[in-house]
Amino acid sequence: MEWYWWVLIIFWTGGFGWLADNIRTALRNRHTRRLELLEAGRQERLAVEAANKPPEPVCGCTHHLAKHDKQGKCHERVELPTAWDEQKKPVRFESGQCNCQQYVGPQPLSQVYAEDLTDLA
């Protein structure tokens, strides 16, 4: 066999190996991109679902509106600090009542829940 056959064989095998590697990588990349696309679509769907969902009736005190009585007084139990250290950091807590007076003035709902909506976006 002539010497250049060996060169050709090495080139072919090496070259084909390299080509196969590239194809494999390309396929893998496409697979990853597809997964990314699927994930992006899922996120989008979740965002749309969340946007269509009626906002949770949560008061500014973070407690559900159901926890408030007709006067707007919140009845949820909260931890109230009773002792502070030198850095004014509360060190002891005592169970107490949330002192929220749920504002019931003429405030449009969109403003009340604006924080929630921007969080979702």
In the complex, the residues that contact Zn ion under the rule CB under 5 A are 59, 61, 63, 74, 76, 98, 100, 102
Dist. CA 15–CA 10, nearest whole Å: 8
Listed in sequence order, the residues at least 6 apart from 66 whose beta carbon sits closer than 8 Å to its beta carbon are: 57
| Smallest separation (angstroms) from Zn ion to the CB of 84 | 22
Q: Does residue 25 sit in helix, strand or coil?
A: helix
| Smallest separation (angstroms) from Zn ion to the CB of 74 | 3
Q: Which is nearer to Zn ion, 48 or 104 (CB)?
A: 104
Does the CA dihedral 104-105-106-110 come out positive or negative?
negative
Q: Which is nearer to Zn ion, 50 or 61 (CB)?
A: 61
| Smallest separation (angstroms) from Zn ion to the CB of 53 | 21
Q: Which is nearer to Zn ion, 45 or 77 (CB)?
A: 77
Lookup: tokens for 72:
């707007």
